[in-house]
């Protein structure tokens, strides 16, 4: 699972709409990761079906894209609030 940083709008830029949007991305990214995990579990019940391979490929791609989006979100959070990196 991608590492998820926790941003607190009350501590930094709570009224900034960009910062708020960055913070709100966390739940969506977590849901994407959990969806990929669920697809992997489903594919494990399919006993070497070619469909299982397709589902595994989808799950892998979803995970990879989710991790990439989380990294971009972290970068964006530092642009919006450069002081956040000093709190970590």
How far is residue 50's CA from residue 47's CA, in Å, rounded to a whole number?
9
Mean pLDDT in residue range 62-77? 91
* Neighbouring C-alpha atoms within 13 Å toward the C-beta of 24: 7
* Residue 39, SS3 per DSSP: helix
Can you give the pTM of this predicted structure? 0.66
What's the token pair of residue 33? 């990761």
- Does the pLDDT at position 65 exceed 80? yes
What pLDDT does 86 receive?
A: 45
* Residue 17, SS3 per DSSP: helix
Mean pLDDT in residue range 63-74? 92
Question: 11: buried, middle or exposed (CB in 10 Å: 19+, 13-18, 0-12)?
Answer: exposed
Domain chopping of the chain, boundaries: 17-83
């Amino acid at each position: 699972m991608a590492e998820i940083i926790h941003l607190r709008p009350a501590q930094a830029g709570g009224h900034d709409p960009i910062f708020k949007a960055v913070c709100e991305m966390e739940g969506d990214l977590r849901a994407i990761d959990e969806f990929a995990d669920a697809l992997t579990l489903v594919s494990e019940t399919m006993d070497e079906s070619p469909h299982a391979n397709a589902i595994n490929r989808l799950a892998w791609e979803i995970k990879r894209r989710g991790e990439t989006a989380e990294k971009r979100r972290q970068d964006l959070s530092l642009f919006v609030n450069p002081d956040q990196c000093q709190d970590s």
